[in-house]
Amino acid sequence: MRQIEFLLNEYGESHKNKTNILIHAIAVPAIYFVTLALVWSIPTITFMDYFDITWAHIIVIPTLYYYFRLSGPIGAAMTVLSILSFFGIKLLIALDISVWQFSIALFVVMWILQFVGHNIEGKKPSFLKDLQFLLVGPAWWWVHWLKRLNIHY
């Protein structure tokens, strides 16, 4: 069994209840977005300002590398989510909304929803067993879409 299949099966064990799945369908990509946005908000050093590179740009590289190592289609899908997240951050800035304040508020709300979903499910979140599952969640979310598009992950 490939590592991605093992991880998705393991993650799926605590995500079978339809309500929990629905909550995760909303919360997982939102948490990915706000996590990038919070990292984006960390001040950069001067030479990085010249190139308009933030810490979020830097941290997304090894994150996407991890996803591509698991699966090409999931890596590509996570690249799309990352790009959309960066556009979302730019939109917040254009709307003059504090990126870090918005992100902290949404982060808290989405994590509360995640724990509500797991309470409904009756199982602990997978990341309590292994922190790697914090990265597996978005891959699991994408697999549902990839299957609908008849793309094998």
Residue 63 lies in a domain: yes
Closest by alpha carbon to 32, among 118, 146, 111, 127? 111
Residue 29 lies in a domain: yes
Q: Could you give the number of structural domains in the chain?
A: 1
34 assigned to some structural domain? yes
**CA 20 to each of CA 65, 79, 88, 119, 129: distance values in angstroms, whole numbers, following the listed order:** 28, 25, 25, 9, 18
Q: Is residue 153 part of a domain?
A: no
pLDDT of the chain along its 153 residues, tens only?
688 888 888 888 888 999 999 999 999 999 999 999 999 999 887 665 567 789 999 999 999 999 999 999 999 999 999 999 999 999 999 999 999 999 999 999 999 999 999 999 999 888 877 777 889 999 988 888 888 877 777
87 within domain boundaries? yes
- Give the structural domain span for 65: 3-148
CB 20 within 8 A of CB 121: yes
Q: For position 57, what pLDDT does the model report?
A: 94
pTM above 0.85, yes or no: yes
Q: What is the pLDDT of residues 119-149, one digit of tens each?
A: 999 998 888 777 778 899 999 888 888 888 7
Calculate the CA dihedral of residues 104, 132, 80, 111 and round it to 10 degrees.
-30
